[in-house]
Chains A and B, each alone.
Chain A
Amino acid sequence: MNELREKAKELLLNNTVKLIIGYANGNGHNRTYPFIARNAADANRLVFNEYCVNNLAVYLTRKEFKGKGIIGIVAKGCDVKAIIQLIQENQINKDEVYIIGMNCNGAVNQLDNSFEKTTLAQKCINCTVRTPALYHALIGTTKDIEEPADTLGEKIKEVEKLNADSRWDFWEAQFEKCIKCYACRQVCPLCYCEQCIVDKTVPRWIESSAHTRGNFSWNIIRAFHLSGRCIGCGECERVCPMDIPLSMLNRKMSIIAKKEFDYSAGVSLDSPTLVGTYNMKDRQDFIK
Chain B
Amino acid sequence: MSEEKFQPKIVAFVCNWCTYTGADLAGTSRLKYQPNVRLIRLPCTGRIDPVFIIKAFEKGADGVLVSGCHPGDCHYNLGNLHARRRFILFSELMNYVGIDSSRLHFSWVSASEGKKWVDVINEVIDTVREVGPFKKYQKINKEFVLHE
Q: Mark B104-148, 1 if CB is under 8 A from A, else 0.
A: 011110000000000010010000000000001000110110011
Q: Is A164's beta carbon under 8 Å from chain B?
A: yes
Q: Is A169's beta carbon under 8 Å from chain B?
A: yes
Q: Is B51's beta carbon under 8 Å from chain A?
A: yes
Q: Are A256 and B86 in contact (CB under 8 A)?
A: no
Q: Are B93 and A227 in contact (CB under 8 A)?
A: yes
Q: Is A228's beta carbon under 8 Å from chain B?
A: yes
Q: Is B42's beta carbon under 8 Å from chain A?
A: no
Q: Are B96 and A159 in contact (CB under 8 A)?
A: yes
Q: Are B98 and A171 in contact (CB under 8 A)?
A: yes
Which residue of chain B has its CB nearest to the CB of A259? Answer: B92
CA distance A211 to B120 in the complex (A): 35
Nearest chain B CB to A202's CB is how many angstroms away? 14
Nearest chain A CB to B93's CB is how many angstroms away? 6
A286-B91, A287-B108 are known contacts. Are A167 and B96 too (CB-CB below 8 A)?
Answer: yes
* Segment from A63-71, A84-92, A110-118, A218-226 that makes contact with B: A218-226
Q: Are A164 and B140 in contact (CB under 8 A)?
A: no
CA distance A283 to B93 in the complex (A): 16
CA distance A159 to B49 in the complex (A): 26
Nearest chain A CB to B92's CB is how many angstroms away? 5
CA distance A275 to B108 in the complex (A): 20
- What is the interface of chain A mostly: helix, strand, loop, or mixed? helix
Q: B94 touches which one: A170, A211, A220, A279 (CB < 8 A)?
A: A220
Q: Are B107 and A288 in contact (CB under 8 A)?
A: yes
Q: For chain B, residues 81 to 110, give those with C-beta under 8 angstroms from any C-beta of chain A.
A: 81-82, 84-101, 105-108
Q: Is A193's beta carbon under 8 Å from chain B?
A: no
Q: Is A160's beta carbon under 8 Å from chain B?
A: yes
Q: Mark B15-49, 1 if CB is under 8 A from A, else 0.
A: 00000000000000000000000000000000001
Q: Mark A205-247, 1 if CB is under 8 A from B, else 0.
A: 1110101111011001101100110000000000000000000
Nearest chain B CB to A229's CB is how many angstroms away? 11
20 residue pairs A–B, Cβ–Cβ below 8 Å: A205-B49, A211-B147, A213-B140, A220-B54, A220-B93, A220-B94, A227-B89, A249-B93, A256-B88, A256-B93, A260-B92, A275-B82, A275-B89, A278-B85, A282-B81, A282-B85, A287-B106, A288-B106, A288-B107, A288-B120
Chain B residues engaging chain A, CB cutoff 8 angstroms: 49-51, 54-55, 58, 71, 78, 81-82, 84-101, 105-108, 120, 123, 136, 140-141, 143-144, 147-148
- A-B pairs with the 5 shortest C-beta distances? A168-B98, A167-B98, A288-B107, A278-B81, A164-B100
Chain A residues engaging chain B, CB cutoff 8 angstroms: 159-160, 164-172, 197, 205-207, 209, 211-214, 216-217, 220-221, 223-224, 227-228, 249, 252-253, 256-257, 260-261, 274-275, 277-280, 282-284, 286-288
